[in-house]
A and B are shown apart, each in its own frame.
Chain A
Amino acid sequence: GESVGLHLPTLSVQEGDNSIINCAYSNSASDYFIWYKQESGKGPQFIIDIRSNMDKRQGQRVTVLLNKTVKHLSLQIAATQPGDSAVYFCAESNRGSARQLTFGSGTQLTVLP
Chain B
Amino acid sequence: GAVVSQHPSWVICKSGTSVKIECRSLDFQATTMFWYRQFPKQSLMLMATSNEGSKATYEQGVEKDKFLINHASLTLSTLTVTSAHPEDSSFYICSAGSGGETQYFGPGTRLLVL
**How far apart are the CA atoms of A101 and B101 in the complex, in Å?**
9
Complex contacts, A104 vs chain B, CB 8 Å: 43
- How many A-B pairs have beta carbons closer than 8 Å: the answer is 50
Size category of the binding interface on chain B: 20 to 34
Interface of A is mostly: loop
Give residues 44-89 of A contacting B (CB, 8 Å). 44-46, 49, 89
A43 and B101 contact, Cβ closer than 8 Å, known pairs A98-B49, A101-B34:
no
Measured between C-beta atoms, what is the minimum distance from A56 to chain B in Å? 18
Interface residue tally for chain A (C-beta within 8 Å): 20
**B110 on the A face (CB < 8 A):** yes
Chain B residues at the A interface, C-beta cutoff of 8 Å: 4, 6, 32, 34, 42-46, 49, 91, 93, 95, 97, 100-108, 110
**How far apart are the CA atoms of A46 and B106 in the complex, in Å?**
11
Complex contacts, A44 vs chain B, CB 8 Å: 44, 93, 105
